[in-house]
Structure 1
Amino acid sequence: MARVLLIDDDVELVEMLKEYLEQDGFTVHAAHDGQQGLVAALTGHFDIAVLDVMMPKVDGVDTLRRLRRDSQMPVLMLTAKGDDMDRILGLELGADDYVPKPCTPRELSARLRAILRRARPAQEDSDAPSHLVAGPLEMWPEQRRAQWSGTPVELTSTEFNLLEVLLRNAGKTVSKNELSEKALGRPLARFDRNVDVHMSSLRQKLGVLPDGRSCIQTVHRQGYLLLKA
């Protein structure tokens, strides 16, 4: 039973979401401001956090920024509908995905399950390699571990999923829609910049190749490609 930390100052909304999620098989704990939510998140007692952007005391963006200093737990942001700046900033700070408000409990539940499913070690086929390598990049999918030139790379669950898809297809272009479906668990929506923002973050976290290039290349109007070496 997945443990969800719901951080939002809208008490009525929280109660509605909490009731639905509990009926849908989750264990839910609520916090009504960023400071309380941050303390609860850092206990390590939860599998995922749902974090509202607009809150008193400490807002969602600052809460996420502080959380990412010490934790890589999956985070789903609740953002104002149409507010692209909050969404992009949240993703840049390490949020795994976002849901615009108002959202239905059913949609929230589906997004949570998609993130959690991909945050856990995958049960790969026996023929699938358990150790992936492309140049200085190495990955152990079952251990959810990656390193660059022998140095561990700290990745969010979504960043790990995206990088794994690229690494399994090293040398081939992978479309944004395929990346979204395999890493986020949903088709790419129109004007959705989620994949692009995560790719930018991955480039910053990974080192560069001997020739100075990033190992992740953008293929115009097609998608992304991970160089083999």
Structure 2
Amino acid sequence: MIILTFFLAHWYLSVLMQTLFLHRYAAHQMFTMSKGWEKVFYVVTFISQGSSFLSPRAYGIMHRLHHAYADTEEDPHSPKYSKSMMDMMWKTRQFYNDILNNRDTIPAKFKKGVPNWPWMEWFGDRWPVRVAWGTFYVLFYIQFATSPWLFLLLPFHFFMGPVHGAIINWCAHRYGYINFKVDDTAKNLLPFDFLMMGESYHNNHHRYGGRANFGGFRWHEFDPAYPLILLMNKVGIVKLRRGRDEAYM
């Protein structure tokens, strides 16, 4: 029970930070926040993603390219130009590392306004730090696992961020249903998104890229992250950009 609770907590906190901070804030700037709160979100993202910490700066830039060039050869992660999910993720990793290490030639317009805390970006990417997180997961399982099969969950902890990316970038471009005709293969992966905190409403998001609520177009589409955004906006942690609760980019 302890292991399953720990796994679910890691899964949902990680995907929540990915959708709130990396995706809706870093990439799309659906809301603003102070530099102080930005650093708080950096730290929470680092803790939640652990060994698979993703740079908010690199993620934001790469995701903007995905929207600009979806399902073309310039898309950082398109199933259309990959032989398999692993092939796509390997290409994504190379693209991501080029941005992270400033080896890219991406136009400046895609980099405007992305969050950047250089020290945390550096620290979160250090291999000793990633190994330390992995060691913590293993020791936790050794202490609390009640069955050998539970250790099969460890790889998900090690690669939590990329696993979430693969589910959306591969599966949500190959499987699911469509609400809107778009210029790419984005689909809504799940009718009720119990798994990805609204991220699986990918077709909705590709149609209305600046809309803070990813769901809401059918009775069963509920975006769990959206009420949290409204709450944070109400208490002053973030400030929704004018019209982003309804209007579109």
**Same topology, TM > 0.5:** no
Instruction: Name the TM-score class by shorter chain.
Output: under 0.3
What TM-score do the two structures reach when normalised by structure 2?
Answer: 0.24
What TM-score do the two structures reach when normalised by structure 1?
Answer: 0.26
Query: Normalized per residue, which structure has more strand?
Result: 1
Highest relative contact order (Cα 8 Å, sep 6+), 1 or 2?
2
Query: Normalized per residue, which structure has more helix?
Result: 2
